[in-house]
Amino acid sequence: MRQSNFRQGFQSTLAFIVILFLLPYIITVIMHGARLDVSGSDVMSAVEVKVVQEDGREEVVTVSWEEFFLGALAREIPENSELEFIKAQAVLLRTNAYKALSNAENPILEERFLTKEELEKKCMNMSDPTYYEKLRQAMVETGQEVLFYGENYATVPFHQSSNGATRNYQEVTGREDCPYVGLRECPQDKEADDEMQVLTFECKEVQKKCQSFLVAVSEEEAEKVYQFSDFEIISYDSAGYVAEIRIGDTHVTGDQFRDALSLPSSAFSLEDANGQLRVVTMGKGHGLGMSQWTANEMAKEGKTYQEILRYFYEGTNLTKKTVGVENQ
Distance between CA 216 and CA 193 in Å, rounded? Answer: 40
Tell me which residue of 99, 90, 93, 110 sits closest to 148, measured CA to CA.
99
Distance between CA 209 and CA 105 in Å, rounded? Answer: 38
CA separation, residue 171 to residues 166, 182, 233, 289 (Å)? 12, 9, 17, 13
Number of H helices, E strands in the chain: 12, 15
CB 272 within 8 A of CB 228: yes
Q: For residue 43, what pLDDT is reported?
A: 58
Residue-wise pLDDT tens for the chain (328 aa)?
Answer: 444 554 555 455 545 443 444 444 333 333 333 333 333 456 578 999 998 887 778 899 999 999 999 999 999 999 999 999 999 999 999 999 999 998 777 788 989 999 999 999 999 999 889 999 999 999 999 989 999 999 999 999 999 999 999 999 999 999 999 999 999 999 999 999 999 999 999 999 999 999 888 876 555 565 688 999 999 999 999 999 999 999 999 999 999 999 999 999 999 999 999 999 999 999 999 999 999 999 999 999 999 999 999 999 999 999 998 765 343 3
3-state DSSP helix/strand/coil % of the chain, to nearest 5: 45, 25, 35
Residues in the chain: 328
In terms of phi and psi (left: phi > 0; alpha: psi -120 to 50; beta: otherwise), the region of 33 is left
Residue 176: phi and psi, rounded to 5, are -110, 10
Residues 6+ apart with CB under 8 A from 100: 107, 109, 110, 111
Distance between CA 107 and CA 99 in Å, rounded? Answer: 10
